[in-house]
Amino acid sequence: MPTTWYDANVINIQTASPNTRRFWVEIPNVEAFSFKPGQFVTMDLPIGDKRLQRWRSYSIASAPAESNQLEFCIVRLDGGKATEYLFDDVQVGSTLRFKGPDGGFVLPETIDHDMVMVCTGTGVAPFRSMLQHIQQENIPHRKLHLIFGTRHVEGILYQQEFIELQKLLPNFRFSVALSREPGLDPTQFPFEVQSGYVHSFYLNEYATLRSDVKFYLCGWQNMVDEAVLNLFDKIGYDKRQIITELYG
């Protein structure tokens, strides 16, 4: 089956944090772009001659909505040609070419287990898609725990949205780990906050083995590798309870 490529128009760009932006695109002549929450697309960016130089994959941050519009949340990487192009050259009205959707890091069809979603930075994008979908479609679920890690308060992506989601989904819990925020006062936040890295949250919370929980991990490889080491080797969870997605 031939690969379908889409030429999407950038319709909005917003700053999400000092080094992160949200990009909205619209696909002309497509009534609805179908995908599963958690999937990604692969963009072909004009930054090189060879495919490996040009292709970059980004998770869809929006939920499926029978729409031809998609949202992406992208962090600028120092020296990264792709994000330099996206941040310096792309503007409203630009065209982004991509194929997809792809990926098996998706929301399960039946949520018959507690979901612990561990991420850093823009690794939150697939989880935001999943959580939006659960809330919008009123999907039956068990406990949902999002553990988000970043350096500073200004880097907490979709903060207000997750605060509201805690009210809309009583089984949803939002926790944040801030690794470089001095003088942190957790009482000033309407969600759980602590100093340190994401690993301390799940190590404390899920140190006792359970068969009714699955861990979904998304972030840089060193974060994901450490989390797998902690959950599988140190605590002893079954590998079938650990689902991973890497970026970068």
In a domain, 165, yes or no: yes
- Per-residue pLDDT, 1: 64
Same domain for 237 and 191, yes or no, is: yes
The tens-digit pLDDT sequence of the chain (248 residues) is 678 999 999 999 999 999 999 999 999 999 999 999 999 999 999 999 998 899 999 999 999 999 999 999 999 999 999 999 999 999 999 999 999 999 999 999 999 999 999 999 999 999 999 999 999 999 999 999 999 999 999 999 999 999 999 999 989 999 999 999 988 899 999 999 999 999 999 999 999 999 999 999 999 999 999 999 999 999 999 999 999 999 86
Answer yes or no: do 98 and 118 share one domain: no
- Residue 108 inside a domain? The answer is no
What domain range includes position 15?
A: 5-102
Clarify whether residues 161 and 229 are in a common domain.
Answer: yes
Shared domain for 169 and 217, answered yes or no, is yes
- Give the number of other Cβ atoms within 10 Å of residue 107's Cβ: 22
Going through the chain in order, the beta strands assigned E by DSSP cover 5-17, 20-26, 40-44, 55-59, 69-75, 95-102, 114-120, 144-150, 172-178, 192-195, 213-219, 242-246
Instruction: Report the pLDDT value the prediction gives residue 2, as an integer from 0 to 100.
Output: 74
What is the CATH number for 78? 2.40.30.10
The answer to whether residue 242 is domain-embedded is: yes
The number of folded domains in the chain is 2
Residues 161 and 64 in one domain: no
- In this structure, the answer to whether residues 57 and 29 fall within a common structural domain is yes
Q: In this structure, are residues 139 and 169 in contact, taking their beta carbons and an 8 Å threshold? A: no
Note whether 97 and 210 are same-domain residues. Answer: no
Taking the model in full, what pTM does it have?
0.96
pLDDT at 52: 86
pLDDT of residue 94: 98
Boundary residue ending a domain (70, 102, 134) = 102
In a domain, 107, yes or no: no
Question: Which of 82, 102, 122 is at the close of a domain?
Answer: 102
- Domain boundary (44, 72, 102) is at 102
For residues 87 and 41, membership in a common domain is answered with yes
Residue 193, Cα to own-chain centre: how many angstroms? 19
Contact predicate 202/116, CB 8 Å = yes
Give me the CATH number covering residue 185.
3.40.50.80
Predicted pLDDT of residue 248: 60
